[in-house]
Amino acid sequence: MRRGASVRRLDTYRIQCCVRMLSETVLAEVQGPARYLGGEVNAVVKDPAEVRIQFALCYPDVYEVGMSHLGSQILYHVINSRPEAACERVYYPRLDAVELMRQRGLKLGGLETGCALCDFDIVGITLQHELTYTTVLALLELGGVTIRSDQRRPEEPLVLGGGPCACNPEPLAAFFDAFLIGEGEEAVGEILDICGQWQQAHPERGARTSANRTELLRQLARIPGMYVPSLYDAEESAEGLLIVKPAAPEAPTTVARRVVRDFGHAPIPEAPVVPWAEVVHDRAQIEISRGCTRGCRFCQAGTFYRPTRERSAETLRQAAQQIIHNTGFDEIALAALNCPDHSQIIEIIDGLHEDLGHLRVSVGLPSLRTDNFSIDLAHKVQAVRKSGITLAPEAGSQRLRDVINKNVTEQDLLDATRVAFAAGWETIKLYFIIGLPTETDEDIVAIADLVEKVVEIGREERVRRRRHLRVNISAACLIPKPHTPFQWLRMKSPAELAAKQYLLRQRLKRKEIRLSCHDAQAALVEAAFSRGDRSLAPVIEQVYRAGGVLEAWGENFSFERWQQAFAAAGKDLAVEAGREWPVGAALPWEHIDLGVCSRFLEHQYACAQRGLTTPDCRLAGCHECGLDETMQPCPTKDSYVAVNI
């Protein structure tokens, strides 16, 4: 991608800070030294002597992954917009660099100034994926921060967690001082205010005490959306799970997630940091909406980001022009759970092409539903150049699509692929999930049959237009997630999933098809922690001590290491992941309130078992999911009620 074409030069101070994390001698010995330089275009470097709070924004994975995370770019912008705070980025180094750092006694630090992690005031870690949990511990220890919160010295930084995995923070509760539940743009300012006031009252780090630190945690617990694990006690339930209850007056019985109400005016990072090296998503990104009303029953994001909120086409056009001017990227991706659902999607794309087409900037869309990818939209998206296209039918048979409430048909998919091939796309990716409830071998065969029909449509277009053809298939394993209608389900065993994957491979052998399957053993580990409780903390630490780090990367993952760690903790990995709980059972995350009530989830679970669908609430009226019963009312509730009348 073309980057940095229209940006200012680095100033002297930023250049001086470029290589502070690793010495020049170490940089000469590691692979991909650009990952550790810092000083990128749009990086914000503040003199530590001129700010009151230093915030380390950490992503527990390598630079190429962390730099692609839009949420981190947003928080980086929000924090650095405050004059009293400085935010620096921290990613976990590649293993060759880690070895050299340990040999030479170097601590992991921020890319902006090289400040060691242990010298920050706040260490904030985003939790996107269960297989990053061991890397969280590795990141802390490499930065000189004590891993367990109850052993952390009073002068050490406050360790905060947030992101989707904070929907069930219990497996990590022993390692974090606090978690932010929900969206952070507004809450992070409140956190900085309280920490700043506390620092003024206790300016000398060396004079801080455990009582001082407890006082700070109690103040943070009063912020809506903040969960402080040390203020809760754990009790064993009838099902043998650890359920937490408040043990301090400041600790709420349930922690309600934070929601940015005025999303249309929420901060947009118009000068995101431009990476030195190629990263996973090497393009500009802009978030056009949050939330989704479709109600797919496997989807945690559909609960986490409710209600649906949009930015206006005019706001997005103005921001996109600034982003491209400040970065020089030649592609901008529209970020949302389902972009075509935006009420102004055509106006947005037309406006972006009008504003940026002369710069040859293309517009990209993420994974799309198959029922709203139109001919008009296809032609507009590829007006400058064709970026990738991913369609998500999820299941092969209509019966199973009804179980998961996908509310799309086979004809929707075939029509969408015909539109895409006719518009000139040569490669299409289809996303499926296996291991769904009530799934049979016939449902797996139905995936193969559906893919064959897509290939045939592509072949027709290839013959007519003399084009190449490739259909990439991704088959993920269902991982039951908290706060979804499938949270009570057991995870299918690796043997069951492997059999389904084998059947699919045997059916998909055409040369145009490329099949990629989720590692079933890795999925089992994810499932165990997705729905786990506080008793799993020793397992995470044991795997880390045994060398487990960057486990989300296949070459570093060891199923045997996880099995041994579970056994050492007196547990069985397959049992922990494979539990199926009765509706109404006390669950480890029931003190976390995402706004959707248990009654609604139970109803959707019952509908799934009977194969009944629930239509989109924007079209069929309110389904009373519970948002109106919490501190986070649905902003369009009144219009939904009118539809019902």
Structural domain boundaries in the chain: 12-256, 367-482+495-522
Interatomic CA distance for residues 642 and 645, integer angstroms: 5
**31, burial (CB in 10 Å: exposed 0-12, middle 13-18, buried 19+):** exposed
Tokens 């030195």 locate to 276
Q: Looking at residue 164, what is its pLDDT?
A: 96
Interatomic CA distance for residues 74 and 430, integer angstroms: 29
The CATH superfamily of 12-256 is Cobalamin-binding domain (3.40.50.280)
Entry field: residues in the chain: 645
Interatomic CA distance for residues 424 and 66, integer angstroms: 32
What are the residues whose beta carbons fall under 8 Å from the beta carbon of 293, sequence distance 6 or more?
Answer: 307, 308, 341, 616, 617, 618
- Cβ-contact 176, 169 below 8 angstroms: yes
Q: Looking at residue 624, what is its pLDDT?
A: 86
- Cβ-contact 613, 402 below 8 angstroms: yes
Nearest alpha carbon to residue 336 among 361, 372, 376, 374: 372
Which residues share a beta bridge with 314? Answer: none
- Cβ-contact 489, 437 below 8 angstroms: yes
**Cα dist from 51 to 85, 234, 386, whole Å:** 5, 39, 45
- Cβ-contact 163, 127 below 8 angstroms: yes
**Cα dist from 182 to 71, 383, 595, 625, whole Å:** 12, 36, 10, 17
Q: Looking at residue 64, what is its pLDDT?
A: 96
Q: Looking at residue 431, what is its pLDDT?
A: 95
Q: Looking at residue 385, what is its pLDDT?
A: 59
The DSSP H or E segment spanning 287 is: strand 284-287
What predicted TM-score, i.e. pTM, was given to this entire model? 0.93
The DSSP H or E segment spanning 392 is: strand 390-394
Interatomic CA distance for residues 415 and 373, integer angstroms: 9
Which residues of the chain are under the pLDDT cut of 50? Answer: 1-2, 4-19, 631, 639-645
Interatomic CA distance for residues 471 and 512, integer angstroms: 6
Between 1.10.357.140, 3.40.630.40, 3.40.50.360, 3.20.20.70, what CATH number should domain 367-482+495-522 receive?
Answer: 3.20.20.70
Positive or negative torsion for Cα 500, 501, 502, 508: positive
Question: For residue 271, what is the DSSP state?
Answer: S
Nearest alpha carbon to residue 319 among 84, 43, 83, 77: 77
Q: Looking at residue 11, what is its pLDDT?
A: 47
Considering all CA atoms of the chain, what is the largest pairwise distance in Å, rounded to the nearest integer?
A: 77
Q: Looking at residue 12, what is its pLDDT?
A: 43
